[in-house]
Amino acid sequence: MTVNKQDQPKINQFIQFQPSTNQAAVLNQLQRFLNQNYNNTFVLTGSAGTGKTTVTKVLADYLAASKTNYYLCAPTGRAAKIISEKTQKEAITIHHLLYTVNEIKDKDGNVLQIEFVARTNISKMATVYIVDESSMVPDQQPNGDDSFVSNNSLLCDLIAYVKEGNKDSKIIFIGDKYQLPPVRSAFSPALDPNYLKKEYKLNPISANLSEVFRQKDDSYILTCANIIKKAIDQSVKRLTYSFIDAQNKNIFIQNYISMQEKSPKDSVLLAWRNISINDLNQSIRAIKYNDTTFPIVKNEQLIMAQNSHSSILRNGTFVSVDELIRLEDYQGFKFADVKLREVSTGRALVGIYKIRIDYLINKDSFMKFEDEKRLFALRMKANSAFRESKDKRVDQYLSALKVRYGYAITVHKSQGGEWKNVFLYPEIPFGKDAGR
């Protein structure tokens, strides 16, 4: 692949800031990588605040101006949305790039599982695939218990897809190797050049952004981050560092609520386990709204647990309830009709949305198959348009939004996000996650 011809721009023409020596060197390295055919993979690492997103924007602007075919993608809908907003370029999920969806049904037509079927890469053009938040890209097959199934790991399918296209296509993995690795993994395989070379016969170039710009040199956060990074590099399982003790859970929650009510988009509470998230969200709601009698109220903050069927709201998007229109009991299933506002932008969303309350209040964050089957059968009987099309988008109950309370979220769910005020609920990992 040769991007830089004489009549085409140079990458440094798209730098709209004063780059550090480290950033300038990385951008020049990327330019050289794109202009040679020996290396097909670039791994760019850097911890939070080092300028990965800034470099990604320069890279995307350069590729667009050079009329080079490229894709900007990320492992999750939330991560894709964030990088799209930061770069002002279209971004998609890796799943959207790689797969078509096949519904596995029982004899009655009920959907048992969603199977990802790998697309064939028929592109004849040399293409650059930029993968943001690559620390989350797994190289393990999904669990047999997962609702979504695929024959291979996401990393395996991605590399196979790129290789299947033009032989001069390239992958650029971008991420923070100090973030949580994929579920059931002790490291981030997509950010490990040696692993990519050994397992996939790639020939990666690597670079690291090392200078943190988002924090002051004497920042407490930066000090703690450096201690943690050093411990990870040295495989230290337990470490000690100073912290401000919240004294007790109630004070901790009160402090979070005070900050969250002042600036919802800038505040988040993070914990490790889903059971802790459920407990914290219930405690927060009990204080904010005096009790938890009503499962959803005006100004309630929610987080999308799945993409909406209309694709307007992506998994991981925070929304708040502008207006609670009604609560509905439909044949034993609970729903709510609401008007919503996107938290990050403050933009009111057009229309009325139906929310699946049973999913919202379910501690296990999934619905029993028997319940899903019964609702499916009810709507199949009642809705002729759905009966003919089998398209859930034409049925308000089957396409109802699946959301969770959006005050406390897991650390995994937060990856790729930025907040000014982060409250951390400390827990010691155990069991299979103890080494992660």
Neighbours of 224 (CB within 10 A): 15
Q: What is the pLDDT of residue 369?
A: 80
Question: How high is the mean pLDDT of the chain?
Answer: 87
CATH no. for 11-209:
3.40.50.300
* Percent of the chain with pLDDT strictly greater than 70: 87
DSSP string, 292-343: -SSS--TT-EEEESS--TTSSS-TT-EEEEEEEEEEEEETTEEEEEEEEEET
SS3 state at 68:
coil
SS3 state at 101:
strand
Question: What's the rounded mean pLDDT across residues 173-198?
Answer: 91
| pLDDT over 60 at 430, yes or no | no
Of 398, 335, 404, 413, the residue nearest 103 (C-alpha): 398
Delimit the CATH 3.40.50.300 region(s) of the chain: 11-209
| pLDDT over 60 at 223, yes or no | yes
Question: What's the rounded mean pLDDT across residues 352-381?
Answer: 88
List Cβ neighbours of 237 (8 Å cut-off, separation of 6 or more): 434, 435
Q: What is the pLDDT of residue 226?
A: 74
Sheet holding 92-93, edge to edge: 92-93, 69-74, 127-131, 170-175, 41-46, 204-209
pLDDT category, 145, cuts 50, 70, 90?
A: very low
DSSP 131: E
pLDDT category, 304, cuts 50, 70, 90?
A: very high
Distance, CA of 55 to CA of 385 (rounded, Å)? 48
Q: What is the pLDDT of residue 240?
A: 66
| pLDDT over 60 at 147, yes or no | no
Candidate ranges 69-83, 105-119, 136-150; pick with highest mean pLDDT: 69-83
* Percent of the chain with pLDDT strictly greater than 90: 57
| pLDDT over 90 at 411, yes or no | no
Do 172 and 128 touch, CB atoms closer than 8 A?
A: yes
Q: What is the pLDDT of residue 433?
A: 52
Of 213, 239, 292, the residue nearest 53 (C-alpha): 213
DSSP 184: T
Query: Could you tell me what percentage of the chain is helix, strand and coil, using 3-state DSSP and rounding each to the nearest 5?
Result: 35, 20, 45
Distance, CA of 299 to CA of 267 (rounded, Å)? 15
DSSP 43: E
Element (H, E) at 170: strand 170-175
Higher pLDDT, 415 or 429: 415
Distance, CA of 283 to CA of 319 (rounded, Å)? 20
Question: What's the rounded mean pLDDT across residues 421-434?
Answer: 70
List Cα–Cα distances, 124 to 50, 66, 169, 170, 322, in angstroms: 35, 18, 10, 13, 48
